[in-house]
Chains A and B, each alone.
Chain A
Amino acid sequence: MLRIDDLSAWYGEARVLRGVSLDIAAGEVVTLCGRNGAGKTTLLRCVMGLHTGQQGLVELDGRPLTGQPAHRRARAGLGWVPDDRGCYATLTVTETLTLPPVVGPDPWPLERVYEAFPHLHARRNAPSTTLSGGEQQMLALARVLRMGARLLLCDEPTEGLSPLLVAQVGDILRQAKQHGVAVLLVEQNLHFATTVADRHHLLAEGRVVESLENSEVAAREQDLLAYLGI
């Protein structure tokens, strides 16, 4: 579904991605692991089209996204779940959910979102920035499900969440996966990553230094944790 080939990116003179290549198929969850500054978030921003100063190929369903503005990429099926959870002080919870257009064949109706997330329903008329951190994260995920996005770009969706909420994020991602949604997941929590992902890419200094099947991770967990500096 998504193909990234020889992608490089710069911040001014500094090169932050150096020829990254990877593929994601429909229904597949792929993580990007790595220390802070390895280029994980930049890679997501490049795929979304938010980072100017990139070179290389990003393809969705065989069609190049290169040069397309972010709003077109969203309409092509990309679901943006940013690390700051993307809430608005001037939009209510319902407005935040219904802001993006429906872009995919299998969108969640608002009623279904509220059934699955009763906490959001209870706060539906509050500005979305007034939600708790966990609620904001659920909102960011619920929003891309309501869009019917086919490829989710998730930047550390479990960061700062309680174990209970982390488990719920896992449920949501596995559920989406079952419906053929692909996920590119930036994740520091290796244990969580192994509960949802099919494959993992280890990023260091802007390069993919290692690619692992999920089954390989458990055997090398200590090794990898040391590498991630956790």
Chain B
Amino acid sequence: MVNFLQHTFNGLVGGAFLALLALGLAVIFGMLRVVNFAHGAIYMLGAFGAYVLLTEVGLDFWWALLLMPLLLALFGIAVERLLVARLARLDPLYNFLLTFGLTLILQDAVKSRYGVQSSPYDAPALLSGTVDLGAFDFPAYRVFVLVVALAVCGAVWWLLTRTRIGMVVRAATERPELSTALGIDVGRWVTPVFGFGIGLAGLAGVLAAPIRAVNPLMGADLIIVVFAVVVIGGLGSIFGSVAAGFAIGLVQAWVQALGEHWALLSQVLVFLVMAGVLLWRPAGLFGREEAPA
């Protein structure tokens, strides 16, 4: 039982990263119809940025947690304005290829400067201990990650469902043409939403730095799983992507807990789940079929 609780907790922490990344992908896809392949590379830049800020600038984790998401959001805004927007009128495949190319450039740029081995990054001193959660002592930093991820997902949920901005973004996401005919300047929301989604990936990266291996390929390994998570949740569904992120994190942790042989299966599992979900609900768990144009 105690073991089960521990695995469940670890699954939630793993799911927190998947949820933050999937959430960013989902808001970007919803608004721009762009599948941002570079999302994993941005996550990697978030973690690497934290490492570089610490070793070369002397700014600690807390500064990184504040600065990296902002810097990467600005980077995302520049990418959207200078590159993504130019391809927006073409087949979405072009923007997929663009972000794929961007991924290769970013990964190789980091690789050529810092090599492929993992760079060590310690959790901040304040969070180095453990937290007694009744049945078990959990590492304080992992509890912190979970709390931050839940708070961010909750805040995005609130923003989207309870504010006028959220309402406009929902309308623009669901029916862009109708929304413009109703006086909504849909184009105005594209750039900030893209920057916001990128910023979320950067945040996930900074949070990952102390507990995941920080190396140029850390995002490449994760992004494929995140794509599967987004598809399971329903492409473009905000709620679906977050729920599926946490669910997949949990399932992976539970299967890994079964033993060493099962650990391999946990890598494949997410794709088996995806295949099953798609057979059962082609639009994903919380997705809606796209209305015919």
Contacts and interface: CB of A to CB of B under 8 A. Distances in A.
Are A and B co-members of a single complex? yes
Interface of A: 48-50, 69-71, 74-75, 80, 82, 86, 88-91, 95, 99-101, 103, 143, 147
A90 B171 contact: yes
Interface stretch (B59-67, B121-129, B183-191, B242-250): B183-191
Contacts of B184: 71, 99-100
Contact of A50 (B171, B174, B177, B185): B177
B279 interface: no
Given A89-B288, A90-B171, A91-B167, A99 B177 contact: no
B33 interface: no
5 contacts: A70-B181, A75-B183, A80-B181, A86-B182, A89-B288
Interface of B: 167-168, 170-171, 173-175, 177-187, 288
Contact of A74 (B167, B173, B177, B182): B182
A69 B180 contact: yes
A90 B173 contact: yes
B286 to A, nearest CB: 11
A86 B175 CA distance: 9
Nearest to B173: A90
A142 to B, nearest CB: 13
B173 A99 contact: no
A48 B181 contact: yes
Contacts of B168: 99
Dominant SS among interface residues on chain B = helix
B182 A80 contact: yes
A99 B179 contact: yes
Nearest to A143: B182
A71 B174 CA distance: 16
B178 A91 contact: no
B285 to A, nearest CB: 15
A98 to B, nearest CB: 8
Contacts of B175: 86, 88
Contacts of B187: 69
Nearest to B160: A90
B185 A99 contact: no
Contacts of B288: 89
A100 B170 CA distance: 13
Nearest to B177: A50
Contacts of A147: 182-183
Given A50-B177, A82-B178, A90 B183 contact: no
Sorted nearest first, the 5 A-B pairs with minimum C-beta distance are A74-B183, A80-B181, A100-B182, A70-B180, A90-B170
Q: Which of B167, B170, B186 has the most CB of A within 10 A?
A: B167
Contacts of A88: 170-171, 174-175, 178
Contacts of B179: 99
A89 B180 CA distance: 17
Contacts of B186: 71
A95 B171 CA distance: 9
Q: Which of A71, A82, A101 has the most CB of B within 10 A?
A: A71
A140 B119 CA distance: 58
Contacts of A71: 180-186
Contacts of A70: 177, 180-181
Contact of A103 (B170, B177, B178, B183): B183
A230 to B, nearest CB: 27
A134 to B, nearest CB: 19
